[in-house]
Structure 1
Amino acid sequence: MIVNSLIDTLYKAGRVDEAWKMFRRLKELKLDPTTVTYNTLLAGLGKEGKVQRALELFGSMTESGCPPNTVTFNTLLDSLCKNDAVDLALKMLSRMTMMNCSPDILTYNTIIYGLIKENRISYAFWFYHQMKKSLHPDHITLCTLLPGVVRYRRVDDAIKIIMEFVHQASLQTSREFWAELMECILIEADIEQAILFAERLVDSICQDDYVIIPLIRVLCKRNKPLDAQKLFDKFTKTLGIHPTMESYNCLMDGLLGHNVTEKAWDLFVEMKNAGCYPNIFTYNLLLDAHSKSRRFNELLELYNEMLCRGCKPNAITHNIIISSLVKSNKLDKALDLYYDLISGDFFPTPCTYGPLIDGLLKARRSEEAMKIFEEMLDYQCKPNCAIYNILINGFGKAGEVDIACDLFKRMVKKGIRPDLKSYTILVECMCMIGRVDDAMRYFEELKLTGIDPDTVSYNLMINGLGKSSRLEEALSLFSEMKKKGITPDLYTYNSLILHLGIAGMVDLAGQMYEELQLVGFQPNVFTYNALIRGHSMSGNKDRAFTVYEKMMTMGCSPNKGTYAQLPNKC
């Protein structure tokens, strides 16, 4: 029925009022709603959390000559269970059976989900066994039930359920199933219980390394890469799992992501010795690690090894190499590689162009940078916000702020939304050349667009205002950032202390010095130098030397700037 499709389309498009308006117009159009019509509206109400209204609509179905079907009940049960009305869902299930509507696997899975959500594990377990009398559980049943069972430390029960499931006639369990199951368990259960379940699983029925991949990911996300490696070693060297490229890569990614590079390289060697040949993902991880640590000779050696092994580089590989060549001051080699690649079947990405444009701008080769930028579209590569930020930053830092502003306008005109970095760059560049009003305009525009300024952007603006002797505005911004919950850092305080001191407001500078310590910061040499300078400029030699003595007492070593600020004793 076309009307049903229209109501469904309107609801999915977020045009809820129009969907209901269409439903109410059915009588005018001399059309009768069908069960499908009601099911569509019930699903929408469920997603909105409007349980009472859904129940009222359900109650009106029979009056309209539309008896509910299994889909209707499943839709309503889903709404009830997701909105903490499981007891009502259980009553609705009884009503379902009384109306000769047969519960299906989705019905049972939904009720089990609701019971697990309310921590009614024993009831969910009983319900699961009731379901088995007439239906075979599916993988969704297990991914719904077992996380709760494991969370309540009933690992033996969980293993028994999984063994029964696997031994069902003609059931094939994929590697993805084991990974999904472990991911679901990790959402509900703590890591220790999940590991215990995985150990029992490996010991009894599954020797697939996809069981440990989610565990490795979670440990690495929790900043425990060494624990992830211990787990990997235990499962592969003690419990007998044969690691594949996927588990090696997962652990390597975690180790490198936490700068545990030596262990990652040991794993790379172990991987090759075990006869598990690295793929392009492996090499890209290691090439990127070399690039980030600026070990460019080792990077090229690894790249050559990769080619010798017949591993074909992809776009990510080429982008890493180009970026590394630029960072190692081999800009022309990077450009040669780029032109060589685009003459073949290589499709460049913004990550290809970013380092090249940045390198050219830093080398004061702005015309070439713009040429590369303009030819991006020739290779079906649309510039993004990051590319524009590189250009705006390059021209702005070179003093070409008008070009930087034009590029910003061009970006907006192209429909590319500036981000926090875009505005921060412009604020910094304007402050650098003393155009503080323009900087403030961009800073205010940033807030109007709905982007929250961060500590860095506030610091730039406060420092710019301070340099222009607009201390009242700087202090106002300082108060504003604290009210917004944006924490000032030591740079914020040092900047204010410096400019307050220069303006002769040394008492207020002293208050800032006290405040920074109260909030937990340790004054550094720049803090003390700013205080000494303020007192010296105000003609108060004694207080300047008192600050110097305090600095020494606190174990903060002076620098050349300290002695330059100290007044002559005579």
Structure 2
Amino acid sequence: MGRLREAKTMFNGLRENGLAPDSVTYNMMMKCYSKVGQVDEAVNLLSEMIRNGCELDVIVVNSLIDSLYKAGRVDEAWQMFDRMKDMKLSPTVVTYNTLLSGLGKEGRVQKAIELFESMIEKKCSPNTISFNTLLDCFCKNDEVELALKMFSKMTVMDCKPDVLTYNTVIYGLIKENKVNHAFWFFHQLKKSMHPDHVTICTLLPGLVKCGQIGDAISIARDFMYQVRFRVNRSFWEDLMGGTLVEAEMDKAIIFAEELVLNGICREDSFLIPLVRVLCKHKRELYAYQIFDKFTKKLGISPTLASYNCLIGELLEVHYTEKAWDLFKDMKNVGCAPDAFTFNMLLAVHGKSGKITELFELYKEMISRRCKPDAITYNIVISSLAKSNNLDKALDFFYDLVSSDFRPTPRTYGPLIDGLAKVGRLEEAMRLFEEMSDYGCKPNCAIFNILINGYGKIGDTETACQLFKRMVNEGIRPDLKSYTILVDCLCLAGRVDEALYYFNELKSTGLDPDFIAYNRIINGLGKSQRMEEALALYNEMRNRGIVPDLYTYNSLMLNLGLAGMVEQAKRMYEELQLAGLEPDVFTYNALIRGYSLSENPEHAYTVYKNMMVDGCNPNIGTYAQLPNQS
């Protein structure tokens, strides 16, 4: 906001003291508002200025038009343009350029052409920015032929193209696979100026795509001489990223190899997009091999960023051994791992429950003087809590908060969840209440853990109070919050309240998923409210939510208990038509329904079908079967 507040105070002070702001003051104030995006305030000042008969400044009006466009208020921007005549202001080249840019972004090519022609008719000479803006509009909207005509018109009108002009046309030609034409424009550019980063990153991917790798290498070499080999890491990353978008993977890799073999590139940054794209296409092992080839055979020294990129991708698909090999390699070549590296590997140990190994790695991190961050501490706490080392997790936590560590909800979540799961809810609540002492506000996930914990032990009163407290504290319940509450109310037999919250869930704009429907359908079924349960089942399907086996099993069981065995049988047929495979609970539900309806023959027929289908019965199956006389 800069010093807007001070400017506003001084401006208001003028009026309070009976002094009328002049044109300069108004214009300065409007410019301030426009710069910070407070467009309404600027427009109001303009209206006030007109009422007071002050002289208007075209620069400020241009700024307002630009601000309105950027705020998505396109119609108002054009209205402001139309009002310029009434304000006795003539649009300048800046006015037209602003509107041309907006039309280009909207894809309104014809309207942009009309505005450009109108500009010339009104004796407002377009400048290089005008042409560049129009060329950008044409090329991004697949009108390259129009762009080429406009480029010719530019030279006829004695308006000198700059690098951006050529880059824009080259981009459009490459986009339409007119590589030779783009190559010609590149040579025209070189006659009067030097290509830049964008030129190279636009042209070379197109050349590689067409197999003109030799030309691409030659241009890259010349460019490196031109800039005296002073390019930053982002150049190589952008070049390889663009090449991977345009060209086939194999051609992109050959191009990268040629860059290295010709001594043009000795950076490792091109490896990052290469690794990411290979991994995106599920070729993680090939990415590992390529990384190995470039670093060990072609002599590229990998940096921390490259190592972290590949380690992360390998861990994502559980190639853990390869990731550990890379971790060892990076240390062997003197590349120091950072907190991000350690955190990725600590998380692996944590998820595997390898607490001893986790602490060994944590100690290594400390010994290497790599400072743990909040993520590190959260991983350690979470890993301890989830591996039945809850008291150790709590000790570790309290050691941290006794220093300068500021816990977050991610720190508290695993601790509160762990305490709730082992029935230590009083401790969980104490920890929850403690959060504010450390400046940490509970989030929705924390409330969900506690609501679930109390719901599971049947304390629905506390669960409901926590839900209401969450709402009162301005935290919006999510789908999980409602699903947990609906489930625990159903389990406690408080189905009317569960139904109330289920309907509230829908009214808040959240979409219930199959889990939420399953919970309420099962709750209604257990309460023998089968008509309502079936209505929700139909609603679920009408919303495009596919019922799962739990949905069918629940309905079949409760329909059977309600004596509606024929409807239960229809559910059995529906689940098969849906491509679901019945399990032991499906068969047990149907057997029980037939047994209760005193239809032992059908019950035994289901049992025989179950055996034929290869589904092993359990104790419940035999308990449901009627005694044969």
State the partner residue of 1:193.
Answer: 251
Runs of 4+ in 1 over 6 A off after TM superposition: none
Work out whether 1:92 is the aligned partner of 2:163.
no
Aligned with residue 460 of structure 2, among 382, 394, 401: 401
Structure-1 residue corresponding to 2:303: 244
Question: In 2, distance between residues paired with 1:119 and 1:414?
Answer: 57
Residues 436-465 of structure 1, C-alpha deviations (whole Å, 9 max, x = no match): 333333333333443333222222232223
Match of 1:551 in 2: 610
Corresponding residue of 2:345: 286
Distance 2:482 2:461 in 1: 14
Query: What residue is the counterpart of 1:106 in the other structure?
Result: 164
CA-CA distance at 1:415 after TM superposition: 4.2
- Which residue of structure 1 aligns with residue 87 of structure 2? 29
Matching residue within 517, 520, 534 for 2:579: 520
Post-superposition CA distance 1:513-544 (Å, at most 9, x none): 33333333222222222222222222221222
1:330-360 per-residue CA deviation (whole Å, 9 max, x = no partner) reads 3333333323323322222221122222233
- 1:287 is displaced (CA, Å) by 0.7
Distance 1:449 1:152 in 2: 54
Matched, 1:61 2:119: yes
CA distance in 1, matches of 2:144, 2:412: 55
Deviation at 1:251, TM superposition (A): 1.7
**Alignment partner for residue 389 of structure 1, among 427, 444, 448?**
448
Cα distance in 2 for residues equivalent to 1:149 and 1:469: 71
Distance 1:168 1:314 in 2: 43
The 1:52/1:391 distance shift into structure 2, 3 A limit, reads: farther
Aligned residue type for 2:533? A
**Which structure 1 segments of 5+ residues have no match?**
none
Equivalent-residue separation in structure 1 for 2:621 and 2:336 (angstroms): 58
Name the CA distance, whole Å, in 2 between partners of 1:42 and 1:404: 58
SS at match of 2:126: coil
The alpha-carbon distance between structure 1 residues 200 and 415, as it changes in their structure 2 partners (threshold 3 A), is farther
Q: 1:473 Cα deviation (Å)?
A: 3.2
SS at match of 2:192: coil
CA distance in 2, matches of 1:467, 1:123: 73
Q: Aligned partner of 2:165: which letter? A: T
Q: Are 1:83 and 2:158 an aligned pair?
A: no
TM-score for both structures, normalised by structure 1:
0.92
Aligned partner of 1:475: which letter?
L
Supply the distance in 2 between the matched residues of 1:362 and 1:443 (Cα, whole angstroms).
25
Q: Distance between the aligned counterparts of 2:271 and 2:323, measured in 1?
A: 18
Residue 130, structure 1, aligned to residue 130, structure 2: no
Q: 2:557 aligned with 1:478, yes or no?
A: no
SS at match of 1:173: coil
- 1:11 and 2:60 are equivalent in the alignment: no
* Cα displacement string for residues 214-244 of structure 1 (whole angstroms, at most 9, x for unaligned residues): 2222233333332322222232233332333
Q: Relative to 1, partners in 2 of residues 1:319 and 1:444: Cα closer, same or farther, differing over 3 Å?
A: same
2:601 corresponding residue in structure 1: 542
In the alignment, the residues of structure 1 paired with residue 477 and residue 244 of structure 2 have an alpha-carbon distance, to the nearest angstrom, of: 37
Which residue of structure 1 lines up, in the alignment, with residue 317 of structure 2? 258
Q: Report how far residue 377 of structure 1 moved.
A: 4.2
Aligned: 1:277 with 2:324: no
What is the letter of the counterpart of residue 161 of structure 1?
Answer: I
| SS of the residue 2:250 aligns to | helix
Work out whether 1:143 is the aligned partner of 2:205. no
Letter in 2 for 1:41: L
- Cα separation, 2, equivalents of 1:350 and 1:16: 42
Structure 1 partner of 2:567:
508
1:72-471 correspondence runs (5 A): 72-204=130-262, 205-471=264-530
- C-alpha change, 1:423 and 1:164, in structure 2 (3 Å) is farther
Aligned length: 570
Larger-gyration structure (1/2): 2
Secondary structure at the counterpart of residue 336 of structure 1: helix
Change (3 A) 1:27 1:148: same
Secondary structure class of the residue paired with 1:165: helix
The CA distance in 1 between the partners of 2:470 and 2:103, in whole Å, is 41
Write the distance in 2 (CA, Å) between the matches of 1:17 and 1:300: 62
Q: Distance in 1 between matches of 2:399 and 2:142?
A: 61
- Separation in 2, partners of 1:508, 1:69: 77
Residues 175, 441 of structure 1: alpha-carbon distance in 2 compared, 3 angstrom cutoff:
same
Distance 2:166 2:445 in 1: 49
Q: Which amino acid aligns with 1:96?
A: M
> CA, structure 1 residues 31+263, in 2 after alignment: closer, same or farther (shift >3 Å)?
same
* Cα distance change on mapping 1:73 and 1:325 into 2, 3 Å: same
Which amino acid in 2 is paired with 1:139?
H
Whole-Å separation in 1 of the counterparts to 2:177 and 2:537: 47
Equivalent AA in structure 2 for residue 133 of structure 1 = K
Distance 1:41 1:378, change over 3 A: farther
Q: Deviations over 1:367-393 (max 9, x none)?
A: 543443344344443433333333333
Distance 2:581 2:327 in 1: 42
Task: Give me the whole-angstrom Cα distance separating, in 2, the residues matched to 1:315 and 1:121.
Answer: 50
SS at match of 1:193: helix
| Structure 1 residues 297 and 59: alpha-carbon distance in aligned structure 2, compared to 1, 3 A threshold | same
- Provide closer, same or farther for how the CA distance between residues 466 and 155 of structure 1 changes in structure 2, counting only shifts above 3 A: farther
Give the 3-state SS of the residue equivalent to 1:313 in structure 2: coil
Counterparts of 1:21 and 1:534, CA distance in 2: 72
Deviation at 1:79, TM superposition (A): 1.8
Partners of 2:60 and 2:277 lie apart in 1 by: 47
Counterpart code for 2:287: A
Distance 1:429 1:79 in 2: 57
Distance 1:342 1:224, change over 3 A: same
Q: Deviations over 1:5-35 (max 9, x none)?
A: 2222222122223322222222222222222
Alignment partners' CA distance in 2, 1:72 and 1:448:
50
In structure 2, what residue type is equivalent to 1:264? A
Shift of 1:291: 0.9
The Cα offsets for residues 401-446 of structure 1, whole Å up to 9 and x where unpaired, read as 3443444344444444433222322232232223333333333333
Supply the distance in 2 between the matched residues of 1:413 and 1:129 (Cα, whole angstroms): 67
- Once the two structures are superposed, residues 245-268 of structure 1 have per-residue CA deviations (whole angstroms, 9 ceiling, x without a partner) of 322222211121122223322332
Distance 1:360 1:188, change over 3 A: same
SS in 1 for 2:226: coil
Deviation at 1:110, TM superposition (A): 1.7
Unaligned runs of 5+ in 2: 1-58
Q: Deviations over 1:444-503 (max 9, x none)?
A: 333344333322222223222322333333333333333433333222222222223323
Shift of 1:511: 3.1
Counterpart of 2:116, as a letter, is: F
CA gap 1:532/1:199 in 2 versus in 1, 3 angstroms? farther
Percent identity of paired positions between Structure 1 and Structure 2:
65
Q: Which moved more, 1:93-102 or 1:356-365?
A: 356-365
- SS of the residue corresponding to residue 376 of structure 1 reads helix
Give 1:170's aligned amino acid: R
Residues 71, 410 of structure 1: alpha-carbon distance in 2 compared, 3 angstrom cutoff: farther
Name the counterpart of 2:54: none
Report which stretch shifted further, 538-547 or 165-174. 165-174
